Amino acid sequence: MWNPQKQQYLKVSIKDSFGIYNHCFREAEIESDDDDDYDDDCKKSSTDEGTAGREAMATEEMSNLVNYIQPVKFESFEISKKRNRSFEMSSFVETKGLEQLTKSPVEFVEYNKRQLSRIYPKGTRVDSSNYMPQVFWNAGCQLVALNFQTVDLSMQINMGMYEYNGKSGYRLKPEFMRRPDKHFDPFTESIVDGIVANTLSVKIISGQFLSDKKVGTYVEVDMFGLPVDTRRKALKTKTSQGNAVNPVWEEEPIVFKKVVLPSLACLRIAVYEEGGKFIGHRILPVSAIRPGYHYICLRNERNQPLMLPAVFVYIEVKDYVPDTYADVIEALSNPIRYVNLMEQRAKQLAALTLEDEEEVKKEVDQGDAPSEANNEPRPTPAENGLSHSTSLTTKPATQVVHSQPTPGSVKAPAKTEDLIQSVLTEVEAQTIEELKQQKSFVKLQKKHYKEMKDLVKKHHKKTTDLIKEHTAKYNEIQNDYLRRRAVLEKNTKRESKKRCETGSPDHSSTIEQELAALDSEMTQKLIELKEKQQQQLLNLRQEQYYSEKYQKREHIKLLIQKLTDVAEECQSSQLKKLKETCEKEKKELKKKMDKKRQEKITEAKSKDKNQVDEEKTEMIRSYIQEVVQYIKRLEDAQSKRQEKLVEKHKEIRQQILDEKPKVKSFEYSFLKITCFCSCNFLL
């Protein structure tokens, strides 16, 4: 009972299907006289009825005092914000929820921070199928109701999500979806402020005891989360040949480069027989995944553990790093290797610098000696009989010596570039037309062509049937008219014959009027029938036209998405091959330089032995320097080539993405015209 002299507070913890929502409210003061009378009545009744009576009264007290939520009809997010009543809850049918989520995603998230929302399946789901709950979890909806009698993919994701947190059925929403100072858009494609995106790599290695039958098996990997994170059938392994006990796949890992919101994303690993029969699966929240080798035990459709089936995988979980900072992160992750590499490069550069200085000093010394020897026997006398100092002639001699290797130094870069260009291969990015020739894209085009052809054929059949129906109706009215006219003419002849026999007056004008009225009625009916049939045919053709237009729009969207996937796949494959090409080019360059060195050594062998040893030592030293310089220049050229290729890849992807706004504008105009025509049909 409440103390009438004090204000009491009741903290109600409402556990919903995707969050724990805390609400505090204050009970108003109660008059002391009424409260005392109520206490006396309660004591009397509890005494009369005993323990059962007290329990009943306690239940009544709780039901009277504790009101968790009050259901109200949803009007708008603005009105709900003005009311600011956290104990009010609104229910949305899935279609209405999707509409609100599409129009006002940020407002929907803010609404769910303040109060509860319940989503339930639409009534037209007569097969008890389910919608995808992840869509509404992304918006922070707490009560996402599903049809539990149908264990489809949506229900499996729901059960996999609530398997965690001790299987209590409650999951706490991410912090930024609860804090009022944070704003979140479920359709964001960029990194959320304060949330560290992840990079997830999954490699399917093998399976154990997947089935007791001698069948082939394969594995599919899906990612569910925000729209930007969701990837259906991101990986599908090859089918193992008749080995379900211990199949081995060892394929390239699937890499989810950027998972924007790991706390809302989940990974699904499913195993199927070669015929598509479901064996088992496992749903893992990305935030709970740990890197390393793992045996993942599978679950059945109802998320019940299977005894033996398991999948052996290798998982890497990292923080997402943009490509521009990859080198920095690599240096931070392995600083010892990075420091050793820097020291090695510094030593190589220092060795090159010192050797160049020594060569310059030797050349200067060699240039000074002959200049002095040549100038001593021929001193230039001055007018007073004194000879000039030899130091005046040394400086020009030194300049001459330095100017001698200039032609060689000018030609060296040209030879270097020629050698590098002879090794370097041109790599052209695949154009959009070449991407469209890929097998998967052509296959999708053929599928769309067949679907459109079947749709047009179906529409043509409907039109033909309607025309046949119209023709039959027209013939029916025409035959009825001819029958009535024949009867009228027959009656007219009979009456005229009788009048001739009896000599009664002629009523031909009346008969003509009846025939004219019949013709007029027939003409009016035919006009009305024609207009009605034309309108029916027009409505049918309009419906068929917009149906075909909608089908084309969907096909265009699928083709753009497919072309994007094909471009990413081909470009990643091309970059991977480019790395292999770079290694081959380095080997080819070293091979050519080694061949030149061997030719020089062979030429030097014909000379004096001591001179050969000196030249051989000099060749080895210069060879090392040249190799380092050539390799460095080759790497620079390769990096420039890769940058150009990456830029070209970006341009091609941008060209593909530029088609999406056109599709959206087409979709908007299509919906506008469809709504207008629908209104006209209703009118």
Q: How many CA atoms lie within 13 A of 577 on its CB side?
A: 12
> What is the residue type of 675?
C
In whole angstroms, give the CA distance from residue 136 to residue 129: 17
User: Could you identify the residue written with the tokens 């999707």?
Assistant: 98
pLDDT band at 576 (very low <50, low <70, confident <90, very high): confident
Beta-bridge partners for 278: 272
Q: Which of 311, 310, 258, 268 is nearest to 289 (CA)?
A: 268
In degrees, rounded to 5, the angle at the alpha carbon of residue 348 between the alpha carbons of residues 345 and 350 is 105
For residue range 257-294, list pLDDT tens digits in order.
889 999 999 999 999 999 899 999 999 999 999 999 99
Q: What is the mean pLDDT of residues 543-560?
A: 84
Q: Given this model, what pLDDT does residue 507 score?
A: 56
Q: Given this model, what pLDDT does residue 56 score?
A: 45
List the single range of 221-230, 305-314, 441-450, 622-631 with lowest mean pLDDT. 622-631
> What is the residue type of 636?
D
> What is the residue type of 506?
D
User: Could you identify the residue written with the tokens 């419906």?
Assistant: 543
How far from the centroid of its chain's Cα atoms is residue 440's Cα? 18
Contact 638, 503 (CB under 8 A): no
In whole angstroms, give the CA distance from residue 371 to residue 398: 8
In whole angstroms, give the CA distance from residue 430 to residue 354: 46
Interior/surface letters 395-430, b for 16+ CB within 10 angstroms, e for the rest: eebeeebeeeeeeeeeeeeeeeeebbeebbeebebb
More confident residue, 358 or 633: 633
Q: How many CB atoms lie within 10 A of CB 186?
A: 21
pLDDT band at 402 (very low <50, low <70, confident <90, very high): very low
Tokens of 526: 């035919």
Query: Residue 664 phi/psi, 5° resolution?
Result: -65, -40
Tokens of 213: 């039958």
More confident residue, 11 or 204: 204
Q: What is the mean pLDDT of residues 556-571?
A: 85
pLDDT at 672 over 60: no
Most trustworthy range by pLDDT among 35-49, 79-93, 315-329:
79-93
For residue range 99-114, list pLDDT tens digits in order.
999 999 999 999 999 9
Contact 42, 54 (CB under 8 A): no
pLDDT mean across residues, the chain? 76
Q: Given this model, what pLDDT does residue 96 score?
A: 94
Q: Given this model, what pLDDT does residue 147 score?
A: 92
Q: Given this model, what pLDDT does residue 377 score?
A: 42
Contact 20, 14 (CB under 8 A): yes
In whole angstroms, give the CA distance from residue 622 to residue 613: 14
Tokens of 187: 């359709």
Q: Given this model, what pLDDT does residue 301 score?
A: 92
Contact 89, 72 (CB under 8 A): yes
SS3 readout for 621-678: HHHHHHHHHHHHHHHHHHHHHHHHHHHHHHHHHHHHHCHHHHHHHHHHHHHHHHHHHH
Q: At what angle do helices 335-375 and 391-403 cross, to 10 degrees?
A: 130
Its sign, for the CA torsion 164, 165, 168, 171, is: negative
What percent of the chain lies above the pLDDT cut of 90? Answer: 26
List of E strands, 125-224? 143-144, 198-208, 217-224
Tokens of 621: 């030293």
Q: Given this model, what pLDDT does residue 243 score?
A: 86
pLDDT at 483 over 90: no
Contact 461, 469 (CB under 8 A): no
Tokens of 487: 């009867």
What's the start-to-end Cα distance of the chain, in Å?
62
Query: Residue 2 phi/psi, 5° resolution?
Result: -85, 140
Q: Given this model, what pLDDT does residue 365 score?
A: 53
In whole angstroms, give the CA distance from residue 99 to residue 47: 57
Report which secondary-structure segment, H or E, holds 529.
helix 508-604
List the single range of 221-225, 269-273, 595-599 with lowest mean pLDDT. 595-599
Q: Given this model, what pLDDT does residue 203 score?
A: 95
Q: Which of 586, 572, 565, 585 is nearest to 646 (CA)?
A: 572
Contact 217, 244 (CB under 8 A): yes
List the single range of 243-257, 466-480, 604-618, 644-658 with lowest mean pLDDT. 604-618
Q: Given this model, what pLDDT does residue 499 score?
A: 67
pLDDT band at 156 (very low <50, low <70, confident <90, very high): very high
List the single range of 164-168, 227-231, 495-499, 526-530 with lowest mean pLDDT. 495-499
Q: Given this model, what pLDDT does residue 257 score?
A: 87
pLDDT band at 639 (very low <50, low <70, confident <90, very high): confident
Contact 406, 380 (CB under 8 A): no
How do 143-144 and 116-120 pair as beta strands?
Answer: parallel
User: Could you identify the residue written with the tokens 């050797």?
Assistant: 355
Report which secondary-structure segment, H or E, holds 471.
helix 439-502
What pTM did the predictor assign? 0.45
List the single range of 2-11, 68-77, 142-151, 340-349 with lowest mean pLDDT. 2-11
Q: Which of 519, 634, 636, 523 is nearest to 584 (CA)?
A: 634
pLDDT at 544 over 60: yes
In whole angstroms, give the CA distance from residue 123 to residue 94: 10
Q: How many separate helices (H) and strands (E) can be counted in the chain?
A: 15, 14
Q: Given this model, what pLDDT does residue 164 score?
A: 87
